[in-house]
Amino acid sequence: MTSMDVIVSLCKRRGFVFQSSEIYGGTGSCWDFGPLGVELKNNIKRVWWRDFVQERADMVGLDASILMHASVWKASGHVEQFTDPMVDCRECKHRFRADQIDEVPWLHFCPATKGNKFTIPAGEPCKHCGVTRTLCPDCGKGELTPPRQFNLMFKTFMGPVEEDAAVTYLRPETAQGIFVNFDNVLQSMRLKLPFGIAQIGKAFRNEITPGNFIFRVRELEQMEIEFFVNPHDQVDGRPADEDWHDRWIADAQAWYVRYGLDPAHLKLKEHGKDELSHYSKRTVDVLYHFPIGWSELMGIANRTDYDLKQHSKFSGKSLTYFDEERKEHIVPFVVEPSFGVDRAFLAFMLDAYREEEVRGEKRVVLRLHRELAPIKIAVLPLLKKRPEIVATAHGLRGRLSRQWRCVYDDTAAIGRLYRRQDEVGTPYCVTVDVKTVGDREKGEAGDQMVTIRERDSMEQIRVPMADLEAIFGRLMGETAWPEVAAAYPRAEG
Ligand code: ATP
């Protein structure tokens, strides 16, 4: 399995992810997406929006503000309940989430071996003395305080006065922006149940123990859908909300697989009764096999009518839907697939990463889905000393850039240039060579053909320059490489 260190290092080296405020020592809980990272992240969001909003007749979008009325968070239950249990070490003062403390290796000074120091795998007892962890896992010495509830919301002040009345919070989830706009969207778009409202945006959580790269951050991005259904409707003899919940669980997993995740790296986790959030009737997490172990990639909750009812109670406004058939006002139930952009980014990177051996040399390749790849086409000149080759390559980059993210690179020999593009997941390279442009001194005309190289197979074909838009139109669409390649002569590798 790909290790986190390998991905962290690739991300930094190749401009995907940098530590936030690195020149000041970094924050450890926030990350900046570099030139290639922002492309990958935008692509994830773009395909998500296309697949779940644009292509569906039962979905609309929204972009609500991050700062909201303070009452929103009282109504939603976040002020009271959006907490994690926290414990502190009395010696080293480190802070841990009480429910995750046995998920990290622990330091132990073993009494059965004259106090020798051991690092013991998470959750396991000491092999020598048999005890399980009770002290601080970091220093191995300090007693831990009893758990206290810690609210994860970032508090801030709205307006120029710092007084209690002006207190509000940075949103810890995008969902509430959808609930408070339920009636606005319903009325303006004349929607009929079932329908969904989707939103992509930042959320903020003052996590007790951020870490594992972008897996747990304090500033995160979510892609959320609130899918409203009529709880009185039945599908195959079951309440509609339960049926839609199962459908969303299946659709969400299929989405990750469609963009490259190995189905064997995904599994479902049903929340037990004691784990359910205060609003939830049933929650299922999709877990991904991260290097830190099976961990939550996204969650799909049946939030019932809890949020709409709460906001109606706190605001005094009716948030109901009129069921024309039954002639009754109802409060819809809502199923919420909540995708995390950062965790999706990490999972796609991990699953795409391969180290291969090609002709005795190591090749690192990111087999990213073509729609996710940050750069779609790299245009490379075979010889940078020949002005006609360079000019033709620049021209091609300009032409193709109107439709796809393209780069030009002439800073190394061709083999090296190919490896660089492989390492960042560029699905296609186009190479311009002497034959393309000809040789005026020798009186040789160019053939106006270029080489296209495919990342995964490393196969190369020779194609007319004039056909490039048509060829890439097919390749970036649904046509597979072998079908396109079959129509053209192979070029030498
Ligand atoms: P966890 O149990 O890992 O703290 P959660 O159950 O609190 O996560 P949800 O409230 O269900 O998470 O949030 C929905 C999704 O938002 C998560 O599945 C994840 O993809 C993303 N997410 C939540 N918190 C973070 C975070 N701190 N960093 C990165 N992504 C996050």
Q: Give the tens place of pLDDT for each residue, 117-157.
A: 999 999 999 999 999 999 999 999 999 999 999 999 999 99
**Is residue 219 in contact with ligand 1, taking CB distance under 6 Å?**
no
Q: Does the beta carbon of 220 lie inside 6 Å of ligand 1?
A: yes
- Calculate mean pLDDT across residues 329-358: 97
pLDDT (0 to 100) of residue 373: 98
Phi, psi of 25 (to 5 degrees): 100, -5
Worst-scoring range by mean pLDDT, 277-281, 306-310, 431-435, 449-453? 277-281
Residue with tokens 């780069």: 407
The confidence score (pLDDT) of residue 288 equals 98
207 CA: nearest ligand 1 atom: 27
What is the DSSP-derived secondary structure letter of residue 404? S
Does residue 431 carry a pLDDT above 80? yes
Going by C-beta distance under 8 Å and a sequence separation of 6 or more, which residues neighbour residue 391?
Answer: none
Specify the residue with its C-alpha closest to ligand 1, atom 18. Answer: 298
Which residue lies with its CA nearest to atom 20 of ligand 1?
Answer: 340
The dihedral built from the CA positions of residue 119, 122, 127 and 129, taken in this order, carries a sign that is positive
Please state the pTM of the whole predicted model: 0.93
| Residue 89 DSSP class | B
Mean pLDDT within 50-58: 98
Interval between CA 81 and ligand 1 midpoint (Å): 16
Compute the average pLDDT of residues 167-191.
97
CA of 33 to the centre of ligand 1 (A): 19
- DSSP per residue, 326-380: TTEEEPPEEEEEEEEHHHHHHHHHHHHEEEEEETTEEEEEE---TTT-S-SEEEE
8 Å CB contact between 386 and 396: no
Ligand 1 pocket check: which of 220, 253, 275, 294 to mutate, most ligand atoms within 8 Å of Cβ? 220
Q: In b/e form, how buried is each residue of 232-242, taking b as 16+ CB within 10 angstroms?
A: ebeeeeebbbb
Highest mean pLDDT: which range of 99-108, 333-342, 356-365: 333-342
Q: Which residue lies with its CA nearest to atom 22 of ligand 1?
A: 340
Cβ 216 under 6 angstroms from ligand 1? yes
**Average per-residue pLDDT in the chain?**
95
171's tokens? 């949103």
List the helix and strand counts (H, then E) for the chain. 14, 29
Q: Is the CB of 78 under 6 A from ligand 1?
A: no
Mean pLDDT of 101-110: 92
Residues whose CB is less than 8 angstroms from the CB of residue 190 and which lie 6 or more positions away in sequence, other chains included: none
User: Which alpha helices (DSSP H) does 14-130 contain, by range?
Assistant: 35-49, 70-75, 78-81
Cα–Cα distance, 223 to 340 (Å, whole number): 6
Q: How far apart are CA 206 and CA 29, in angstroms?
A: 9
Pocket test for ligand 1, best of 171, 214, 296 (most atoms within 8 A of CB): 296
3-state DSSP assignment of residue 304 = strand
In this prediction, residue 266 carries a pLDDT of: 98
> 338 CB less than 6 Å from ligand 1?
yes
Instruction: Say how far apart CA 69 and CA 443 lie, in whole Å.
Output: 75
Least confident of 122-126, 293-297, 403-407, 449-453: 122-126
What is the C-alpha separation between 45 and 47, in angstroms, rounded?
Answer: 6
> pLDDT confidence of 246, banded at 50, 70, 90?
very high
Residue 238 DSSP class: E
Is residue 332 in contact with ligand 1, taking CB distance under 6 Å? no
Ligand 1 centre from 340 Cα, in Å?
Answer: 7
Distance CA 80, CA 269 (A): 26
Q: How confident is the model at residue 46 (pLDDT cuts 50, 70, 90)?
A: very high
- Which residue's CA is minimally distant from atom 25 of ligand 1? 216
Pocket mutation for ligand 1, best pick of 20, 176, 216 (most atoms within 8 Å of C-beta): 216
User: Quick check: 7 pLDDT over 80?
Assistant: yes
Could you tell me if the CB of 207 is within 6 A of ligand 1?
yes
How many CB atoms lie under 10 A from the CB of residue 114? Answer: 7
Q: How far is the CA of 68 from the centre of ligand 1 (A)?
A: 20
Task: Work out the average pLDDT over 226-232.
Answer: 97
Closest to 298 measured CA to CA, from 352, 369, 249: 249
Answer yes or no: is the C-beta of 343 below 6 A from any ligand 1 atom.
yes
Say which residues have a Cβ less than 8 Å from residue 201's Cβ, sequence separation at least 6.
63, 64, 66, 174, 177, 221, 222
Q: Is the pLDDT of residue 367 over 80?
A: yes
Which whole number is the average pLDDT over 90-109? 91
Question: What is the per-residue pLDDT for 493?
Answer: 61
Amino acid 440: pLDDT: 84
| Closest residue by CA, ligand 1 atom 1 | 296
In this prediction, residues 265-292 reach a mean pLDDT of 95
| CA-nearest residue, atom 17 of ligand 1 | 298
Contacts of 318 (CB under 8 A, 6+ apart): 183, 312, 329
Q: How far apart are CA 226 and CA 365, in angstroms?
A: 37
Residue with the nearest Cα to atom 24 of ligand 1? 216
Question: Does a cis peptide bond (omega within 30 degrees of 0) precede residue 210?
Answer: no
**Residues 201-219, mean pLDDT to the nearest whole number:** 95
| Whether the Cβ atoms of residue 357 and residue 367 lie closer than 8 Å to each other | no
**Substitution candidate for ligand 1 out of 199, 338, 345, 346 with most atoms within 8 A of CB:** 338
Under the banding of pLDDT at 50, 70 and 90, the label for residue 443 is: confident
Inform me whether the pLDDT recorded for 42 exceeds 90: yes
Q: Which two tokens stand for residue 316?
A: 């005094």
**Which of ligand 1's atoms lies nearest the C-alpha of 298?**
18
Model pLDDT, residue 205: 97
- Between β-strands 238-239 and 234-235, what pairing exists: parallel, antiparallel or unpaired? antiparallel
Sign of the CA dihedral with 18 first, then 29, 263, and 478 last: negative
Question: Could you tell me if the CB of 103 is within 6 A of ligand 1?
Answer: no
> Which ligand 1 atom sits nearest the alpha carbon of residue 344?
20
Nearest CA-CA partner of 463 in 474, 477, 447? 447
Rounded CA-CA distance 300/224 in Å is 10
Banded pLDDT at 463 (limits 50, 70, 90): very high
C-beta of 39 in contact with ligand 1 (< 6 A): no
Amino acid at site 242? E
CA-to-CA distance for 258 and 252, rounded, in angstroms? 10
pLDDT value of residue 441: 85
Give pLDDT, residue 28: 78
The 8-class DSSP code of residue 51 comes to I
Distance between CA atoms of 229 and 331, rounded to whole angstroms?
9
Lowest mean pLDDT among 218-222, 347-351, 424-428, 489-493: 489-493
Q: Is the pLDDT of residue 366 over 80?
A: yes
299 CB near ligand 1 (under 6 Å): yes
Q: What is the largest CA-CA distance in the chain?
A: 87
Give the three-state DSSP class for 114. Answer: coil
